[in-house]
Amino acid sequence: MGKLLQIIGIVIIIAAAVVATATLAVDPATAQLRALMVLPWALSAILSGILLTAFGSMLRQLSAIRAATERQAALFQAILDRRTPAAAP
């Protein structure tokens, strides 16, 4: 799930940048006016892509932490199981 969110975020960032530059490159005479029109949605799309990518990265890190915790718990349990019980009086 985390990798998917990262890929979707990167696609959103690239698509927003491509559409914004294509919109600005149509007519150089009105590029400043178009920049004012493109800027709000382009920036919000790029920021949402960055947020999705960061969230996907966080999910991947949490998954790795969970797997490491489970491995540590299994190793600790194996150590406890191998311990010899104390001699009964």
Q: Where are the domains of the chain?
A: 2-82
> What is the pLDDT, as a whole number, of residue 57?
95
User: What predicted TM-score, i.e. pTM, was given to this entire model?
Assistant: 0.75
pLDDT digits (tens, 9 = 90+) for 32-89: 888 888 999 999 999 999 999 999 999 999 999 999 999 999 999 999 888 866 655 5
User: What is the DSSP annotation of 18-35?
Assistant: HHHHHHHTS-GGGHHHHH
CA distance 14 to 20: 10
Q: How far apart are CA 20 and CA 18, in angstroms?
A: 5
pLDDT tens track for 3-17? 999 999 999 999 999
**Other residues' Cβ atoms within 10 Å of the Cβ of residue 52:** 20
What DSSP designation does 83 have? S
